[in-house]
Every structure is written in structure tokens, then in C-alpha cells.
Amino acid sequence: MTVERPWDDSVDCSPDSQLVTIAHACFDFARAGDTERLREYVERGVPANLTDAAGNTLLMLASYHGHAATVRVLAALGADPDRTNDRGQSPLASAIRRGQDEVVTVLLATGADPDVGKPSGRDCPDVRSGRAPPDASLGLPRGWTHAAEVCSREGARCLVLWPVGRRVPSFVAGRAHGA
């Protein structure tokens, strides 16, 4: 008796060992910040959002290990800065929790949403440091403070928030008040 299967039989086969080797190498490149080698693989067809067995993308691994240049390149190649792993953690929250200020700056510049993930990027400073929230009269999210007001590329003025107790990177401070 023949059973109709709605999927491709190839899913029942083990993956090509060469592809597995390439995937593992790319994960290692992301962890090590080997930006140029990782760029070459992604430009030649490795998915920018390639995930490991725990759902960590290349961008998540680069963020966690503090490799801002690698994060910047992966985002430019189409990696999703808001893609969470299997535990619901976002690259932004991971970078904040690990104190990777330069990575946080890059992720925010590429459009990472601080509300994505569990805990979200907005919640991480509280979770990590236990610091009290800023003055509630400012109406700022818990764990965040006003860092600067900057002009976006479109000319709109934007309020930049930064985790309480963290050094504001020069990238953000230097753009204060449209500078």
C-alpha cells in the first residue's frame, strides 16, 4: 500500500555532512567575530538568519560575544535583529545583559525593537542590575533613562533611551540635539 505524503521525502534523509560542517563553521565565525569569512559565506548563499539547534541566529551569537562589526555586517546582509531564539531572547536583550555597549548601539541603529523578547531589551537592565527605575515623572520605561535627543535621517527629533547606570556610548552622546 502506498501512503500519500504531503512533504518531500528528502526531509527524512540526514543532512549533507558538508552543509553541516559549513553551518558549524559559520556559527564559530559569528562567535569569534570573524566578520570577513562569515560575510563571504552569507554572500555565497548561507542564510543570514541561519539558526543553531537552540534557535540562536548568527546575529545572536555575534551580539552575545560582543562583535559589533559582525553584527553590523550581518544586519546589512539581511539578518533580522529582532529574531528571538528558542528561549525568547533577542540579540538586543542579550547584548544589554552582557554589557556589550557597542553592539547595543549597532543593533539600535539597525532598527532592533527594544520591546521584543522575554525579557525585552527594556527589561534587561532591571533584570541584570536590580537598579531602581528612573524618576517616574519622566514617563520613561522602567530601567531606562533619557540619554539624548537626536535627529533621525528623516529629520524627525527622537528621544534616545539608555539603560540606567550604563555609560552612554559616544555614538549616541555625539548625536545629541541634532549634532
CATH of 16-178, one of 3.90.550.10, 2.60.15.10, 1.25.40.20, 1.10.260.40: 1.25.40.20
Report domain extents, the chain.
Answer: 16-178
Phi, psi at residue 159, to the nearest 5°?
-90, 125
| Higher-scoring residue by pLDDT: 179, 17 | 17
Grid cell 534523509 is found at 13
Encode burial over 75-84: b for 16+ CB neighbours within 10 A, e otherwise. bebebbbbbb
What pLDDT digit, counting tens, does each position of 80-90 carry?
Answer: 999 999 999 99
Predicted pLDDT at 43: 96
- Over residues 76-82, the mean pLDDT reads 96
